[in-house]
A = this chain, B = another copy of it.
């Protein structure tokens, strides 16, 4: 059960290769063969040896990127106090990821698009937990009167979608300035959550 050092290293190497392949060639092309080639491995058997199956590998890919994203976003949000400042930080940090981990984000989106359908997925859990936390944060800001009255769940969903859409464009279109777009998007939602004056 416990993993040796080599084992962990190998898994990391394969996960990294998988991310690169998915990001540059798309999920559909991410076969064991292609990933093994990217990782400089001589056979696909290696991958099967280290992972219980393709699902296991993809789960690791998603987990890795989520970990990176969390490490980037969480401190930036927590550095702020107050709903508006936190919302702005959340959006800017999210979009800012495009500049730091473009490949990883591309890979994440690809994989979630496909695994998202599997309702048995263990990410459904993670994702809904995350969402609930965000919903509660929004509701707290509504109670203090910092945010207006609206369906917090819809807001969170909308932000998630809007951020992903901008992220997707930022990652694919180098002409777009992620920082500027992040600021625009943050202001957009800042206006959207203001209480009626």
Interface residues of A (CB under 8 A from B): 26-28, 110, 113-114, 117, 148, 150-151, 154-155, 157-166, 168-169, 180-181, 184-185, 187-189, 191-194, 197
Q: How many copies does the complex hold?
A: 4
Instruction: Name the CB-closest residue of B to A91.
Output: B158
A197 to chain B, nearest CB (A): 7
> A161–B165 contact, CB under 8 A?
yes
A191 contacts across to B, CB distance below 8 A = 148, 191-194
A185 contacts across to B, CB distance below 8 A = 154, 158
> B150–A188 contact, CB under 8 A?
yes
- Complex Cα distance, B189 from A194, in Å, reads 12
A163 contacts across to B, CB distance below 8 A = 161
> A114–B26 contact, CB under 8 A?
yes
> B181–A151 contact, CB under 8 A?
yes
> B165–A117 contact, CB under 8 A?
no
- Complex Cα distance, B191 from A146, in Å, reads 15
Q: Assess A161 versus B166: contact at CB under 8 Å? Given A26-B114, A114-B26.
A: yes
Query: Which of B113, B114, B150, B161 sits near A162, CB closer than 8 Å?
Result: B161
A151 to chain B, nearest CB (A): 5
